[in-house]
Structure 1
Amino acid sequence: MAYRVKPSDRSVQAALRRIAVEEVAAALAEIDDAAMGLHDKVHQLRKRTKRLRGLIRMVRPVFPAYAAENAALRDAQRRLSALRDSEGMVETLDKLVAATGAPGLGPVRDRLVAARDAAAAEADVVADLAPFRADMAALAVRARGWRLTAGGFGALRPGIEAVVARARRDRGRAARKPGTAVIHDWRKVVKYHWYHTRLLQPLDPAPLDRRARQLRDLSEMLGDHHDLAVLEAWAAAVPDLPGPAGLRAELRERIAARQATLEAEAQALAARLFASPPKDLSRRWKRRWKAWRAG
């Protein structure tokens, strides 16, 4: 897989450049893929930008261009946000129905599908792909010249530790006060650590594969929690929510119950994933890095 360090990478800097260029090349190919549906295309392109942001986040403390490149990726990602947000609410409702068996939500889903299709027309996503393509092509040119101020595992350790420390802190904040914003912030940093684990998977394939799968599951739980909050806000704001009387209140209750379940499951999984302090985890990964580089 491309989103991994490789023994052939001469240095961490070389790996950073290669992975970034490969991710951009994949994004450009997806833009040009006539067989890929628009919704799938937007989903894939947003994933590419997130993976790129995760990549540079791993070397943030030793990457002088981090702030500028992260802002460029964030802005490129926002070009495609309107359609993805509308599509996401349809998926969220479907997941809620699957998890709770909530009846009578067909008319609500129809309204969400109509809103999604309207967003696609209003945002003119196809037209937005042209500037997005230009953003990505320019990034690839810059990535070939990216420079780090440290090498070896020393280029990775500070960024890895910072992300793990924040994930542990945000888990505690979410346990004390599981608000939407807190859990959304926690999810973002969990996702960064997931990306970092995937990037370094060749160091110890089986254990890091397992950790990556668990981090993906945790990220999805936290993402579902946030998406449910977005769905609830939409339902509260719609003056003529379709469906039987009392549906708004029932939907709100089902969302709250599902969020409580997700919070409990996420805390249980995170307690295992983030049991070790950041320095302990980075020391283990450093030993694996040295053994891997030694061949």
Structure 2
Amino acid sequence: MDATVHRPVMLEEALAGLAIREDGVYVDCTFGRGGHSRAILERLGSSGRLIALDKDPEAIASPEAQGLRQDLRFTLIHADFSQLKEIVEALGYRGKVLGVLLDLGVSSPQLDNPERGFAFLRDGPLDMRMDPRAGMSAADWLARAGEREIAEVLWRYGEERFARRIARAIVAARALEPLTRTRQLAQLIERSVPRQKWRKHPATRAFQALRIFVNRELECLEAVLAQAGEILAPGGRLVTIAFHSLEDRIVKRFLREALSLHALGKQRPSAWEIAHNPRARSALLRVAERRG
């Protein structure tokens, strides 16, 4: 979901995993800027259908979304993908869907806009919500949470080894002034982590943890995986693209335990793609098929 070239990570591999039929019904659970949706539509015939979801209102209102809405085969819905089953049932496609695609994590347009609060290298409001109209921002949560709770979130969702030290620093800092800006928090973390321990920017894991927690990403992932097994037709495919181990562990465990799906394999991006798109470096694609 790259904002500049509009080419999603592992695009061709995802399309191959979906094994698209011209007359099939497919769901793109993470529309972003429409790279996957556009490519799927190019492979569908006149009787094919594509449903796309996104919880980010900026994605729903983007020029890419408005352009694709002209296609009568395409339906775009502002919703969290944890509502997959409800939406598919309302449209009359339960048990008829031939492919579900999940491109997980944060999109490039979200990272590139400092006003969204996802990135720490440029200053912006400490928000991090994928839907800014719903739920509590990262700043609001950090203003209220206790030190132990903050440390638990940083460890659980970011595997941050200095979680307790960072949590202690956050509580001390907010007693002096509110934490409301991304650079403010990033600089606080920089001061909290010993410089000799830096392998990448010291705020990386903490920002990841806060984003995942604020958006309930792992809980929503568990929900959509279970629902995908119910709405897919026999032989239908589930394709997931994960960008960190927490997501992939959930997918891997689900596929190992699911009775209705069996895993077909996993794949990493090519060396060429990694060279041309550094975001692809950590991607892992998995494909599963609904049993007949």
Normalising by the smaller structure, the TM-score range is under 0.3
**TM score, norm. by length of structure 2:** 0.25
More helix by share: 1
**TM score, norm. by length of structure 1:** 0.25
Of structures 1 and 2, the one with the larger relative CO (CA 8 A, separation 6+) is 1
More strand by share: 2
